[in-house]
Amino acid sequence: MSDAVLAIGTRKGLFLARSADGGPFEVAPIQFSTVGVTSVAIDTRGTAPRILAGIEYGHFGPSVMYSDDLGETWQEAERPPIAFPEKTGATLTRVWQLAPSPAEPGVVWAGVEPGALFRSEDHGVTYELVEGLWEHPHREHWQPGGGGLCLHTIINHPADPKIMGIAVSTGGFYRTTDGGLSWEAANQGIRAPFMPEGQQYPEYGQCVHRVSMHPARPERLFLQHHFGVYRSDDFGGSWHDIGSSLPSDFGFPIAVHPTRPDTVYVLPLNADIDRTPVDHRYRVFRSDDAGETWQPLERGLPEGPVHASVLRDAMTAGEAGVFFGTRDGEVHWSRDDGDTWSAVARHLPDVLSVRAAVL
């Protein structure tokens, strides 16, 4: 494997780590100290990788910073990179997701709170509101989840830029086939057990935690819900439960293996009222058959007891390996598909977002 870079966004700063030829990651000193880094992305489409960071400057508000030299220096747009048009009456609270488009050079998408999607055509420097989603009639009925009214997932079709999916907590999963001009709710088959009998499969209002896709099979999606783990084989047209054999189907992250479309990872927590790892042990569960069966993976992870959860954006799987970060500041890495694990870092602040890329 070539050199790799790992970006770790935390409640109190950004940490970058480098690995040479598949060796251990070495973590560099903190950047943006005391500043919340709620989202990170590593854009490898250009001649040099660009690191993007969605940050929270306290009373100065959220922004997006970018670096073209692996964090040696950082830049910010002259005007606020993401801002709601005055006519919306909305104020940006947080940048939850940054996603370079695989099919459109220069395009980067941003998911924000309050639930909205923004598009950049200058490699993530400045962004414009996607009004088709903002004006959707369901939006006024969306309610904030525990973390806020956040658009936290962006699914880009690898070949057709007009096809996209997004997830909002607690709006649900929505998809477009015309580049964002129009959107439809796509939550059929997802159960919301807290709803009254006969109303447990609502069209929208779903508390989706995370959605993941493999680019080799874009029609297949995996979804971690507040009350279940699901798979769709038609890009969200319908969903079916694949979490019944897990020790708990509550959790936040879900990630797909970079080269095996049928391999998916989750990290179950006990329940929505007990957001600690099942049996108080960090165990990643892997399915190699698209969710039909699951295998616990824990070799090399702390034996426990552990009590910290793993957030929706704090797990990633890619060419550099499988990574997850915890709310008590640990980051763990597997270079063999999850069979064994090693610690990248400990004693960091609360880990919010993790991304890795091979350079």
| Res 304: pLDDT | 80
Question: Which one is predicted more confidently, 22 or 298?
Answer: 298
Categorize the per-residue pLDDT at 60 as very low, low, confident or very high, splitting at 50, 70 and 90. Answer: confident
Residue 59 has pLDDT above 80, yes or no: no
0.75 cut: is pTM over it? yes
- The total of structural domains in the chain comes to 1
Assigned domain for 51 exists: no
Range of the domain at 172: 76-358
Assigned domain for 19 exists: no
CATH number for the domain spanning 235: value is 2.130.10.10
Assigned domain for 56 exists: no
Assigned domain for 310 exists: yes
Assigned domain for 3 exists: no
Smallest CA-to-CA distance from 43 within 118, 120, 111 is with: 120
Hey, what's the torsion of the CAs at 324, 14, 12, 309, to 10 degrees?
-10
CA–CA dist 298, 285 (Å, integer): 9
> How large is the average pLDDT for residues 293-298?
98
| Res 1: pLDDT | 56
Assigned domain for 155 exists: yes
Q: Which residues pair with 296 in a beta bridge?
A: 285
CA–CA dist 330, 341 (Å, integer): 12
- The string of pLDDT tens digits covering residues 1-35 is 589 999 999 999 999 999 998 899 999 999 999 99
> 57: which residues sit within 8 A by CB, 6+ positions away?
35, 63
Cα–Cα–Cα angle for 56, 59, 63, rounded to 5 degrees? 35
Assigned domain for 177 exists: yes
- The string of pLDDT tens digits covering residues 250-294 is 999 999 999 999 999 999 999 999 999 999 999 999 999 999 999
Average predicted confidence (pLDDT) for the chain: 96
- The string of pLDDT tens digits covering residues 142-161 is 999 888 999 999 999 999 99
Assigned domain for 176 exists: yes
Smallest CA-to-CA distance from 1 within 219, 278, 320 is with: 320
HSE at residue 99, side-chain half, CA atoms within 13 A, is 26
Q: Which of 1-5, 302-306, 319-323 has the least mean pLDDT? A: 1-5
Q: Give me the DSSP letters along 227-254.
A: TEEEEESSTTS--EE--TTSS--B-S-E
Smallest CA-to-CA distance from 344 within 19, 103, 85 is with: 19
| Res 342: pLDDT | 97
- The string of pLDDT tens digits covering residues 204-224 is 999 999 999 999 999 999 999
CA–CA dist 199, 194 (Å, integer): 9
Do residues 53 and 66 touch, judged by C-beta distance below 8 A?
yes
